[in-house]
Amino acid sequence: MTRRKRSYRSLASLQRDNRVCRACAEEGYPLASLPVLEGHEGQRAMIVGQAPGVVEAEERRPWRGRAGRTLRRWLELDEEEFYGTFYCVSVTRCYPGRHPSGRGDRPATPREIELCRFWLDRELRLLRPAVIVPVGGLATKRVLGISRLDDCIGSRFELGDAFAVPLPHPSGASGWLNSPRNRVRLEAALSLLQKELSRAGVAPVGVRTRTR
Ligand code: SF4
């Protein structure tokens, strides 16, 4: 049974409840994994992805598949630096399973996104990150209220005491990165992210840009 307290005093206790959350399954949604997240108190940067994929579901660790490797290549961080730098969560945290058509993964429904909002809202209050990186259109919509990548990649946004620097999804499934103009936007976003991480004192190494 899903347990959600009105408020949490620590990320550790929130994570304990989040890791066994079944709120979507209890409403009949066909989840294919338990929640996937990783992070700890004191991290100053947060990555918000869209949802775990099949590899992440198996390992119960975010960003383990090909998209995660591309993201680390963009950031020029090895695994240890990546997971040490970023508190990693997603808009919905359970692998939603394959799409009934057999092509790709089932997109989370608006209701599942709404149910999962609970966890991110409370994490943001407890972690108070200085830098937030929404990755992909679903995450930019959830964090910034902006759906179109063209309208936000390459810009930074003030969110209370934090700055958000959105990135496109590294899976490339949307084809957005096929446009040379969009690759320039990505370069600008990675450069901005480097500045924000440095400003916040959380860049373990120089984050250089590399989009190919
Ligand atoms: S997607 Fe989020 S709200 Fe739904 S069961 Fe998983 S952790 Fe809970």
Across 99-111, average pLDDT: 90
Cβ proximity of 90 and 139 under 8 Å:
yes
**Does the beta carbon of 143 lie inside 6 Å of ligand 1?**
no
- 151 φψ region: left (φ > 0), alpha (ψ -120 to 50), beta (else): alpha
Residue 206 has pLDDT above 90, yes or no: no
- Which residues span the domain enclosing 166? 11-199
Output the CA 180–ligand 1 centroid distance in Å. Answer: 36
* Number of domains composing the chain: 1
Output the CA 198–ligand 1 centroid distance in Å. Answer: 33
Output the CA 204–ligand 1 centroid distance in Å. Answer: 31
pLDDT tens, position by position, 183-200: 999 999 999 999 999 999
What is the pTM for the complete model shown?
A: 0.93
- Whether residue 75 is contained in a domain is answered as yes
- Whether residue 35 is contained in a domain is answered as yes
- Whether residue 146 is contained in a domain is answered as yes
**Does the beta carbon of 113 lie inside 6 Å of ligand 1?**
no
- Whether residue 157 is contained in a domain is answered as yes
Q: What are phi and psi of 206, to 5 degrees?
A: -60, 125
pLDDT tens, position by position, 30-69: 999 999 999 999 999 999 999 999 999 999 999 999 999 9
Cβ proximity of 123 and 117 under 8 Å:
no
Query: Which CATH number do you get for residue 24?
Result: 3.40.470.10
pLDDT tens, position by position, 158-187: 999 999 999 999 997 889 999 999 999 999
- Whether residue 76 is contained in a domain is answered as yes
- Whether residue 103 is contained in a domain is answered as yes
For residue 22, give the ligand 1 atom closest to its CA: 5
- Whether residue 97 is contained in a domain is answered as yes
